[in-house]
Structure 1
Amino acid sequence: MAAPLFFWLFSLVSISNVAIGTSIPMDIFVLAGQSNMAGRGGVSHGVRDHYVPPKCSPNRQILRLSAKLEWESAHEPLHADIDTGNVCGVGPGMAFANEVVRARGGSVVVGLVPCAIGGTRISQWIRGTPLYSSLLRRAQESLKEGGTIRAVLWFQGESDTLRTSDAVAYGGNMKKFIMDIRSDLNIPNLLVIQVALASGEGQYIEEVRKAQLQLNLQNVKCVDAKGLNLKADKLHLTTTSHVHLGLKLANAFLAS
């Protein structure tokens, strides 16, 4: 038993020092979508308040894949170097990861792959687009140190509520996105946990929500954000709501 114990202790030291030089088994999660996945908690008028809730605190068992495709210690804001055209704040990712670590115990190492970009429509995420290609590249890169992609966490659709054509096409586009990413990653039953909208930029919120809630694909779950508190802009979740959503996403994953 001495050799495995030594390897595990060495791995923990490597993680705490953010020196990922060995193949460390990880549960990997891709975070994709638009601003409410990228995180706008604690951001007002383009300024972040820097408050980090305890459930979003850094944990040596949680890593993130940086924009430079390097594993590093995860901390808020997770998308700061990804959604660079916007000011990012607290999102659901860290609360999700901390809850998974808490539930699974001391041996799990969670790897988060931030990919969300604010203000994007589903049509910008279909196969062949720059966003899809970036997500695919980052997901593939996340596997090079070892580990398994356990799920894609998806929160997007607010920008598809502006036009009837986008809202009507949402369900078909989302289905295609899921089938394509499963095929390109060669994970046929990859779990996808999508969030049903709590808000939108336009008047077709219910049309997009219906498409999300009624998407009929194997191993696709839907977590409803309706009822979570919004900021004064009536579009983005509050910091507390981001935490609650992260816990709901974690519970959906843990029940899978």
Structure 2
Amino acid sequence: MKRSVFILSGQSNMSGRGGVKARRWDGIIPSACQPHPSILRLSAAGAWEPAIDPLHCDIDVSKTCGIGPGMSFANYLLSKFPGSFEIGLVPCAEGGTAIAEWARGSRLYSRMLNRAKESVSAGGEIKAVIWFQGESDTLSEEATEAYRGSMERLIGDLRSDLNVPSLPFIQVAIASGDERRVEKVREAQMGMDLDHVACVDAKGLPLNADGLHLSTEAQVELGRLLADTYVVRFLLPEQQ
């Protein structure tokens, strides 16, 4: 049985700032994010190891990482299908990054692509990319207007480079950003009309005191929503 691999990518809300205050993480790991023998992560060195938060500690190295949605996603998924598979999480997110920095050929894109390929070489099968990014693109009108096209190109490029034409993407519609443009980016995310692309809305989930990053509680709930979306949109239809 191949390991079911999920690529976790985007910016800081994916790498996780739950429990982070004044650049320090409180170290609290909620029950929904606890380690499990069937959940592994691909380290920065390209080795599978037991997954434990913060998942992005050796990837988003210039920032303080805390709780993101990855562990709750994996635990909720396993709870629905106990004993059915092993999950491999591949952290790739980096805080403060705009969509233009993820274009094909960029450092971030190349690292994501290489880590995805490493996960396959190490015995995994990529099941989906989970993408949470866009807050940085609310900072300029130009980036906001270009967001949908940039995201569609990213999806097409990664599918092509991995040779998985129908690779599922689950993107998160942002919950924060520059209030002048955040709704435009959200509209682009929720209005994307591509096959095998789903969207989970983070709006309304509680934020940290900074008004930008999802709280630990919010990340746990987001993980559940992502798991439900993956099961309904992609896993169950695949099994029929």
SS at match of 1:170: helix
Name structure 2 gaps, 5 residues minimum: 234-240
Partner residue, 1:238: 215
Amino acid in structure 2 at the alignment position of 1:149: I
Please, what is the CA RMSD of the aligned residues? Answer: 0.8
Amino acid in structure 1 at the alignment position of 2:76: E
Output the CA distance in 2 between the equivalents of 1:143 and 1:47: 34
Output the CA distance in 2 between the equivalents of 1:147 and 1:63: 11
Q: Does 1:190 align with 2:167?
A: yes
Output the CA distance in 2 between the equivalents of 1:68 and 1:152: 20
Name structure 1 gaps, 5 residues minimum: 1-23
SS at match of 1:255: helix
Partner residue, 2:36: 59
Partner residue, 1:50: 27
Partner residue, 2:67: 90
Output the CA distance in 2 between the equivalents of 1:158 and 1:165: 14
Q: Does 1:178 align with 2:167?
A: no
- Of residues 40-49 and 145-154 in structure 1, the stretch that sits farther from structure 2 once superposed is 145-154
Output the CA distance in 1 between the equivalents of 2:84 and 2:207: 36
Aligned residues: 233
Q: How does 1:194-213 map to 2 (within 5 A)?
A: 194-201=171-178, 203-213=180-190
SS at match of 1:107: coil
Q: Does 1:168 align with 2:129?
A: no
Partner residue, 1:99: 76
* Superposed structure 1 runs of 4+ greater than 3 Å apart: none
Deviations 1:60-105 (A, max 9, x none): 0000000000000000000000000000000000000001111121
Output the CA distance in 2 between the equivalents of 1:202 and 1:30: 29
* 1:202 shift after superposition: 5.6
Partner residue, 1:4: none
Identity of aligned residues (%): 53
Amino acid in structure 2 at the alignment position of 1:27: S
Q: Does 1:214 align with 2:191?
A: yes
Partner residue, 1:3: none
Partner residue, 1:225: 202
Report if aligned partners of 1:52, 1:76 keep a CA contact under 8 Å in 2. yes
SS at match of 2:121: coil
Partner residue, 2:236: none
Partner residue, 2:58: 81
Output the CA distance in 2 between the equivalents of 1:90 and 1:155: 14
User: Highest Rg: 1 or 2?
Assistant: 1
* 1:34 shift after superposition: 0.2
Output the CA distance in 2 between the equivalents of 1:202 and 1:224: 16
Report if aligned partners of 1:201, 1:235 keep a CA contact under 8 Å in 2. no
* 1:201 shift after superposition: 4.3
Partner residue, 2:106: 129
